[in-house]
């Protein structure tokens, strides 16, 4: 699903002393099937942006277009329900929203609410737990007896069971151990590719943006500060520092190494192993010259 | 004999009788003025350890001793003065309407006299660099600022031990840096032991000692340098090594000799520089 923001502004509590402009004339477009990372420090407008993607918020000014749906200021949307069926949002700490008696019921809640028939619901629940690597035995357990990592998978399964075309992920790995973080991100990436989803990932992790996104949007004070491919953007250390963002650690290290050792190594997305070899060769080469 | 330490003596714990053990026969000691990081995969028992340390939970087997005194229902309040805790979610730990009220709350609970409270509020807000926010509303602060106030509230009670239970997990990178800096300053300036429970590998490299938990048992206790040299075993138990350790490992594979396991950029760069200048 193509997503376009055209001159979108959003103001919280307009015409009051607390008036706060969270988004300012925001314009960008995300082609269907792309994996986009949205980055910005706290208060940059990321959460407000996300809530426009499934109509939880409507722009104060401007237009948000998602496929054939349009969200505009002061216009009532009859198709909001349809839109919400197609845009799945995994909020931060989604396990806090679990509430049903069993895992199966919790995962089925969304599609059941949208009137999907029972046979189809069963099929979707099974497909979802396969994608999230949840054991079938857990389906009849209470979600509250599960570990934190499992609870998060249940919550994600619930979003997947809606069969969304767009997946919006708000810091989906926060609070997980390193292994769990990697597993969840690999899972989303896999789904993204297999189901040809349009994925919007909100993250603080430059590493994840670098590893998975084909496009990065950097927000600052409610405006698009930079937009482009991760490799291209993450080389602009100064510009990123100005909005209190760090470059990914690998790029930071290469910059320092180049300065200290007088090397000329460039980051082109090579693996850590290849980079290590390049650096080792350089260090040894230096010795050979002398 | 100096008794200022937290000791876990053969501690086992489970939430209910029909549930599996969360901790099994766990023993370790945390000394005075130490910074110890506790790491482990989700569900390894890290947070349970934190809750046992200040009597939010009690073990079914074994003992927990704080400065030689066992943590029980009777000693609980005395022990909580000595063992302060900062939790993960900055929004769940505020009660006051201003930063100042909030810092005062813990002291009020411990029945401290007003003059002491006024003095301690100033000192502890100063220690975390939040003096100018004294009259601000806590819920309007950034995540990092909130956690600094939470640390100040704990400091005000003047504990000997502070436990930070994933206190940086919900913060953005900037907030995380703020907290780490605050922790370091506080630890240098005051006589305090710090126990940080964390997934953040950067945070772990700064601790003096690391306790690695796996499946409810102590898997290893050592320095960060030693722990991060065991990459393969760490990955097996759901953990990882920092970027610098990974890069150094691959450099060794590529035939480069390093004199020790580097813990940060600076150390690895120096190794490389030395290596390059040797003829």
Average pLDDT for B130-157: 88
Task: Give the pLDDT band of residue A161 (cuts 50, 70, 90).
Answer: very high
Query: Are B199 and A250 within 8 A, CB to CB?
Result: no
Query: Is B270 a domain residue?
Result: no
Question: Nearest CA to CA, how far is B60 from chain A (Å)?
Answer: 20
A33 CB near a chain B CB, below 8 Å? no
In chain B, residues with a C-beta closer than 8 Å to the C-beta of A261 are 269, 272-273, 276
Residue B38 has which token pair?
């506790």
Query: Are B172 and A42 within 8 A, CB to CB?
Result: yes
**Is residue A290's pLDDT more than 50?**
no
**Is residue A252's pLDDT more than 70?**
yes
Average pLDDT for A224-237: 93
Q: Which of A149, A182, A286 is opposite residue B276, by nearest beta carbon?
A: A286
| Confidence (pLDDT) at B2 | 59
Opening angle at CA B223, ends B218 and B225, nearest 5: 125
Average the pLDDT over each of A77-81, B35-39, B151-155, B225-229 and give the range with the smallest value. A77-81
- Closest-CA residue of B relative to A276 is B251
Query: Is B237 a domain residue?
Result: no
Q: Which of A41, A147, A250 is opposite residue B43, by nearest beta carbon?
A: A147
In angstroms, rounded to a whole number, what is the distance separating the alpha carbons of residues B157 and B69?
19
Question: Nearest CA to CA, how far is B52 from chain A (Å)?
Answer: 19
Portion of chain B with pLDDT greater than 70, in percent: 99
Strands, sheet with A61-66, edge to edge from the N-terminal-most edge strand: A20-30, A3-12, A61-66, A69-72
Burial of B217 from C-beta contacts in 10 A (0-12 / 13-18 / 19+):
middle
In chain B, residues with a C-beta closer than 8 Å to the C-beta of A181 are 199
In chain A, residues with a C-beta closer than 8 Å to the C-beta of B277 are 286
Q: Which range has highest mean pLDDT (A25-29, B80-84, B163-167)?
A: A25-29
Average the pLDDT over each of A180-189, A243-252, B3-12, B270-279 and give the range with the smallest value. B270-279
| Confidence (pLDDT) at A187 | 94
Q: Which of B170, B173, B253 is opposite residue A246, by nearest beta carbon?
A: B173
Cβ(B44)–Cβ(B213) below 8 Å: yes
Residue to test with chain B: of A18, A44, A179, most B Cβ within 10 A? A179
Average pLDDT for B58-75: 95
- Bridge partners of B86? B164
A255 CB near a chain B CB, below 8 Å? no
In angstroms, rounded to a whole number, what is the distance separating the alpha carbons of residues A197 and A191?
7
**Is residue A171's pLDDT more than 60?**
yes
Block residue for tokens 């490799």: A231
Average pLDDT for B254-276: 90
Domain count, chain B: 1
- Tell me the residue range of the domain where B146 lies: 6-224
Query: Is B127 a domain residue?
Result: yes
Query: Is B241 a domain residue?
Result: no
A277 CB near a chain B CB, below 8 Å? yes
Question: Nearest CA to CA, how far is A175 from chain B (Å)?
Answer: 6
3-state SS, residue B189: helix
Per residue in A91-121, pLDDT (tens digit) is 988 998 999 999 999 999 999 999 999 999 9
Ramachandran angles phi, psi of B200, nearest 5°: -80, 115
Query: Is B273 a domain residue?
Result: no
Per residue in A32-46, pLDDT (tens digit) is 999 999 998 877 889
**Is residue B1's pLDDT more than 70?**
no
Query: Is B209 a domain residue?
Result: yes
Cβ(B255)–Cβ(A280) below 8 Å: yes
Strands, sheet with A223-228, edge to edge from the N-terminal-most edge strand: A87-90, A166-170, A198-202, A35-39, A215-220, A223-228
| Confidence (pLDDT) at A286 | 59
| Confidence (pLDDT) at B251 | 93
Question: Nearest CA to CA, how far is A18 from chain B (Å)?
Answer: 12
Considering chain B, what is the average pLDDT of its residues? 89
Query: Is B57 a domain residue?
Result: yes
Query: Are B251 and A179 within 8 A, CB to CB?
Result: no
Burial of A258 from C-beta contacts in 10 A (0-12 / 13-18 / 19+):
middle
Query: Is B279 a domain residue?
Result: no
In angstroms, rounded to a whole number, what is the distance separating the alpha carbons of residues B77 and B79?
5
In angstroms, rounded to a whole number, what is the distance separating the alpha carbons of residues B102 and B5?
28
Per-window interface: A 189-218 vs B, CB < 8 A:
204
**E strand spans, chain A:** 3-12, 20-30, 35-39, 61-66, 69-72, 87-90, 166-170, 198-202, 215-220, 223-228
Query: Are A179 and B41 within 8 A, CB to CB?
Result: yes
Q: What is the pTM of this model?
A: 0.84
In angstroms, rounded to a whole number, what is the distance separating the alpha carbons of residues B18 and A100?
22
| Confidence (pLDDT) at A233 | 93
In angstroms, rounded to a whole number, what is the distance separating the alpha carbons of residues B155 and B25?
31
Task: Give the pLDDT band of residue A287 (cuts 50, 70, 90).
Answer: low
Query: Are B254 and A249 within 8 A, CB to CB?
Result: no
Considering chain A, what is the average pLDDT of its residues? 91
Query: Are A275 and B275 within 8 A, CB to CB?
Result: no
Tell me what ipTM this predicted complex has. Answer: 0.81
Residue B147: CATH number of its domain: 3.40.50.300
Per residue in B191-229, pLDDT (tens digit) is 899 999 998 888 899 999 999 999 999 999 999 999 999
Q: Which of A182, A204, A286 is opposite residue B172, by nearest beta carbon?
A: A204
Q: Between the CA of residue A14 and those of A117, A123, B127, what are the distances in Å?
A: 42, 45, 38
| Confidence (pLDDT) at A191 | 94
């Amino acid at each position: 699903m193509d997503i376009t923001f055209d001159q979108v502004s959003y103001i919280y509590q307009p015409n009051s002393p607390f008036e706060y402009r969270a988004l300012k004339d925001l314009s960008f477009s995300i082609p269907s099937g792309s994996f986009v990372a949205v980055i910005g420090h706290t208060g940059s407008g990321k959460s407000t942006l996300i809530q426009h993607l499934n109509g939880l918020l409507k722009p104060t000014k401007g237009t948000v277009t998602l496929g054939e749906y349009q969200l505009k200021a002061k216009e009532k949307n009859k198709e909001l329900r349809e839109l919400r069926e197609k845009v799945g949002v995994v909020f931060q700490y989604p396990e806090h929203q679990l509430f049903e008696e069993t895992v199966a019921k919790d995962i089925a809640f969304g599609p059941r609410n949208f009137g999907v028939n029972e046979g189809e619901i069963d099929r979707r629940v099974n497909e979802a737990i396969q994608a999230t690597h949840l054991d079938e035995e857990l389906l009849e357990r209470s979600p509250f007896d599960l570990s934190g990592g499992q609870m998060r998978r249940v919550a994600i399964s619930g979003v997947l069971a809606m069969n969304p075309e767009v997946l919006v992920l708000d810091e989906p790995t926060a609070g997980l151990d390193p292994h769990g973080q990697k597993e969840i991100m690999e899972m989303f990436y896999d789904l993204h590719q297999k189901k040809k989803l349009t994925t919007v990932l909100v993250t603080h992790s430059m590493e994840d943006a670098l590893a998975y996104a084909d496009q990065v949007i950097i927000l600052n004070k409610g405006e698009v500060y930079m937009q482009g491919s991760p490799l291209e953007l993450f080389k602009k250390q100064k510009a990123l520092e100005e909005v209190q963002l760090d470059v990914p650690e690998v790029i930071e290290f290469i910059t320092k190494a180049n300065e200290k050792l007088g090397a000329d190594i460039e980051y082109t997305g090579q693996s850590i192993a290849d980079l290590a070899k390049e650096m080792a060769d350089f260090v040894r080469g230096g010795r050979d010259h002398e | 004999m100096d008794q200022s330490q937290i000791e876990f003596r053969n501690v086992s714990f489970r939430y209910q009788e029909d549930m599996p053990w969360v901790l099994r026969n766990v023993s370790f000691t945390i000394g005075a003025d130490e910074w110890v990081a506790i790491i482990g995969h989700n569900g390894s028992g890290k947070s349970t350890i934190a809750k046992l340390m200040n009597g939010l939970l009690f073990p079914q087997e074994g003992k927990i001793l704080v400065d030689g005194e066992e943590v029980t229902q009777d000693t609980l309040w005395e022990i909580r003065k000595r063992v302060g805790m900062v939790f993960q979610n900055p929004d769940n730990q505020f009660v006051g309407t201003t930063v100042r009220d909030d810092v005062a709350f813990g002291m009020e609970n411990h029945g401290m006299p007003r003059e002491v409270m006024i003095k301690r509020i100033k000192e502890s807000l100063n220690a975390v660099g939040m003096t100018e926010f004294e009259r601000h509303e806590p819920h309007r602060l950034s995540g990092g600022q909130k956690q600094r106030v939470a640390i100040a509230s704990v400091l005000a009670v003047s504990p000997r031990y502070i436990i930070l239970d994933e206190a940086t997990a919900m913060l953005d990178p900037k907030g995380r840096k703020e907290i780490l800096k605050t922790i370091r300053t506080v630890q240098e300036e005051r006589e305090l032991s710090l126990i940080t429970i964390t997934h953040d590998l950067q945070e772990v490299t700064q601790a003096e000692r690391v306790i690695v938990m796996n499946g409810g048992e102590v898997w290893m206790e050592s320095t960060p340098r030693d722990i991060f040299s065991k990459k393969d075993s760490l990955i097996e138990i759901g953990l990882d090594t920092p970027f610098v350790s990974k890069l150094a490992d691959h450099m060794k594979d590529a035939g480069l000799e390093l004199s020790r396991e580097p813990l940060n950029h600076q150390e690895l760069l120096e190794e490389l520089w030395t290596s390059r200048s040797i003829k």
